[in-house]
Amino acid sequence: MPESEIPEDLTPDEGAKGERIAKRMAAAGLCSRREAERWINAGRVEVDGEVLTTAAFLVTEESKIVVDGNPLSGTGPQRLWLYHKPTGVITTHRDPQGRQTVFETLPRTMPRVVSVGRLDLNSEGLLLLTTDGELARKLEHPSNGWARRYRVRIHGRPQPDELAALDKGITVEGVHYASIKAELERQQGANAWLKVTLTEGKNREIRRVFNHLGYEVGRLIRTGYGPFELGQLKVREVTEIAGAVLRQQTGDSSKPVRSDKWAKAKKKPAKKRPGKTKEFEDRKPGGKRRKVKKKPDAAKP
């Protein structure tokens, strides 16, 4: 492990003997690294029977890790799903206000997953889910360069020069937002539909920027994230990305990935009932074809 990757409070020699506990927990899809560090500080994590008090702790493959009294499962293969998030559900595992979460709407057959980034309560559309916390962190980081694409409905009539200026970035209440590409899709009465593309995806970025410009966002739909598209995925529907596709798009061959194809169940084609075709009429009740005598051709004049 390079010195730059060694956790704080650990020496280079120690760093070469294992990996940080928070990283292991994130890779298992249990939570993010930051969440893992908070859990550790709260005394919820044990390693080999010892309750940890700091995240600056290394573990190996032989370490017995217990979180909230439950053994930590192995990291397993990387897996990634596309999910069509509806409005009214929150992207978190636990909500103090008791609101329904994204993870409560998923099929019970799915393993524990974490989201790649977030969509707020009133936003909808494409949300990526994965079993690998490290993969989630990689895909949501701006340095990855993956664009987030949206359809946005605002109240008002945006001017072309306003939208063009966003391409240079904008600062709102001391927060700088990088280039935002926005183009008018159509004006519909007092509302306008826009196509918006982000590369950073900061918290509530689109809503804050357009509110700053004097436009209220009425609807926000994420249609694409990097190479993945919402397409015809129905609301609350989830489908898994093939392992080969995941490996190709993330460029990470260091971890195993599932090689199965799309997990979305395909409907079996309905059986066609025979109609009154020539062949149908020529069959006997038992199913055998009966011989049909051909009529002699009419005498030609």
Q: Which residue range is the domain that position 138 belongs to?
A: 76-144+227-264
Give φ, ψ of 264 to 5 degrees.
-65, 125
Report the pLDDT value the prediction gives residue 88, as an integer from 0 to 100: 95
- Total domains present in the chain: 3
Q: Is residue 291 part of a domain?
A: no
Same-domain pairing of 156 and 136? no
Report the pLDDT value the prediction gives residue 161, as an integer from 0 to 100: 96
If 0-12 CB within 10 Å is exposed, 13-18 middle and 19+ buried, where does residue 233 land? middle
CATH number for the domain harbouring residue 118: 3.30.2350.10
Same-domain pairing of 242 and 260? yes
Whole-number Cα distances in Å, 57 to 39, 60, 95, 137, 216: 13, 10, 29, 20, 47
Place of tokens 């550790």: 40
Q: Is residue 128 part of a domain?
A: yes
Q: Is residue 281 part of a domain?
A: no
Profile the chain (301 residues) by mean pLDDT over runs of 10 residues: 40 59 81 86 92 91 87 76 96 90 93 90 96 85 90 97 96 95 96 95 93 97 96 95 88 45 39 51 52 54 48
Q: Measured in whole angstroms, how far is the alpha carbon of residue 277 from the centre of its chain? A: 49
If 0-12 CB within 10 Å is exposed, 13-18 middle and 19+ buried, where does residue 195 land? middle
* Residues with Cβ within 8 Å of residue 45, at least 6 apart in sequence: 21, 25, 36, 39, 51, 52, 65, 66, 67
Q: Is residue 278 part of a domain?
A: no
Q: Is residue 282 part of a domain?
A: no
13 is catalytic: no
Same-domain pairing of 18 and 123? no
Same-domain pairing of 30 and 170? no
CATH number for the domain harbouring residue 163: 3.30.70.1560
Q: Looking at 13, 48, 95, 120, which residue is catalytic?
A: 120
Q: Is residue 11 part of a domain?
A: yes
Q: Is 103 helix (H, G, I), strand (E, B) or coil?
A: helix
Same-domain pairing of 82 and 217? no
Report the pLDDT value the prediction gives residue 271, as an integer from 0 to 100: 52
CATH number for the domain harbouring residue 18: 3.10.290.10
Which neighbouring-strand residues pair with 229?
A: 224
Q: What letter does residue 174 receive in the DSSP assignment? A: T
Q: Is residue 183 part of a domain?
A: yes
Same-domain pairing of 48 and 99? no
Report the pLDDT value the prediction gives residue 31, as an integer from 0 to 100: 78
Separation of alpha carbons 275 and 42, rounded Å: 70
Same-domain pairing of 111 and 241? yes
Separation of alpha carbons 152 and 216, rounded Å: 10
Q: Is residue 299 part of a domain?
A: no
